[in-house]
Structure 1
């Protein structure tokens, strides 16, 4: 045992507050949103690798599913099976679908379907850069 706490849905908020920077905590644990066009991964289009949850490290999206949606946040057309949970979000006076990490429950962003993007799924996972970390593939 390393003494590190398990980072999952049962992790107490005081542990998250110690582990995450304030802006990461705001997005991942308090369902905040970073300003459009400001995230470090908004315009990053790597050839190979995986985007993992910044909170717990679970793999969420492969680099090949990232695309330029022009929305101001990283966009993915599909997720790694089992890695993302979807929840109805009625805030802001409209119906949206929130996406969270299935392991730790961290807020990732929202998913929008049927917008007409030329992707295999016609789905856009609009994800905060503060919710994810990119890990290049080992070559």
Structure 2
């Protein structure tokens, strides 16, 4: 099956506590390991931006499941394209909580999420492509 990368943005129905985010992360890691999906989840100010990597049919099914999750709304598919390789090969799911302001490259990551929320491009690229390129470097 061909490898795809999918990036979406959504808004949490309420601000989540650190423990709730940790539970989401733990469950996502376990679920993704079973279905050959890798990726990274970013949380900032009640917004999620997530990169998922795996076989196209698996990602389509997973995105459908995510779209029905009542913990968030305003789901926006930002990117869904074939990929030559996985950017997040080391993680079934990485998580960066930008609320803690301790993340590497904090300012750049916050800017990417903010650009995605408003539809703004970064150096002529979509926020999703910018995010993927950010981690390829």
Structure with bigger RCO (C-alpha 8 Å, 6+ apart): 2
> When you count helix as a share of all residues, which structure comes out higher?
2
Q: Same-fold call, TM > 0.5?
A: no
Return the index of the structure with the highest Cα Rg.
Answer: 1
Relative to the length of structure 1, the TM-score reads 0.30
